Amino acid sequence: MGVNSALQEHKDELFKCLFRGKDLTKLLEVAYKHINNPIIVCDTSYSVLGSFPQVSDERNLEIINNRLRLKNVFTQDMEINKITERIYHSIYPFITKVEDFPYDWVFESIRINQAVVGYICIRG
């Protein structure tokens, strides 16, 4: 199977998952199967909406008002290093380093009618 046909197969499987109304966790599971890197979806208040595999990083995450959220020290680091600004202003995914992590992160904004409502981050 060629690269293009494999990519198309991955796209088709993700589309079918969306079309069938699967929940966010199932969609992330399908995406994870193809990229084999952990995926996290956050809203603009840094709350985790979904992830696969499930995240439980106590060093960088905390529960506030019954919601799993990035700790302030991590969000401040994102703001200082202009990662948050890039999420809001870039229409393309980008790769960056995040302090305290030995691997790269890929960030991509989630937009509805041109407004950023969240973002996807992929480790590795």
What pLDDT score does 88 carry? 94
Q: How many Å apart are CA 124 and CA 121, to the nearest integer?
A: 10
Neighbour-count burial for 76-110, b at 16+ CB within 10 Å, e otherwise = ebbeeeebbebbeeeeeeeeeebeeeeeebbbbbb
Average pLDDT of the residues in 20-35: 84
- So where are the chain's domains? 1-35, 37-123
pLDDT in tens, 40-99: 999 999 999 999 998 877 778 899 899 999 988 888 888 998 999 999 999 999 999 887
2-11, 29-38, 93-102: segment of lowest average pLDDT: 2-11
Over 60: is that where the pLDDT of 1 sits? no
Domain 37-123 in CATH 3.40.50? The answer is no
Over 60: is that where the pLDDT of 108 sits? yes
Q: 35 or 7: whose pLDDT is higher?
A: 35
Of 25, 24, 27, 6, the closest CA to residue 16 belongs to 27
Q: Give 21's pLDDT tier (boundaries 50, 70, 90).
A: confident
Kindly report the pTM of this predicted structure.
Answer: 0.83
Over 70: is that where the pLDDT of 2 sits? no
As a whole number, the mean pLDDT across the chain is 86
Beta strands in 54-114 (DSSP E): 61-64, 67-70, 94-97, 104-112
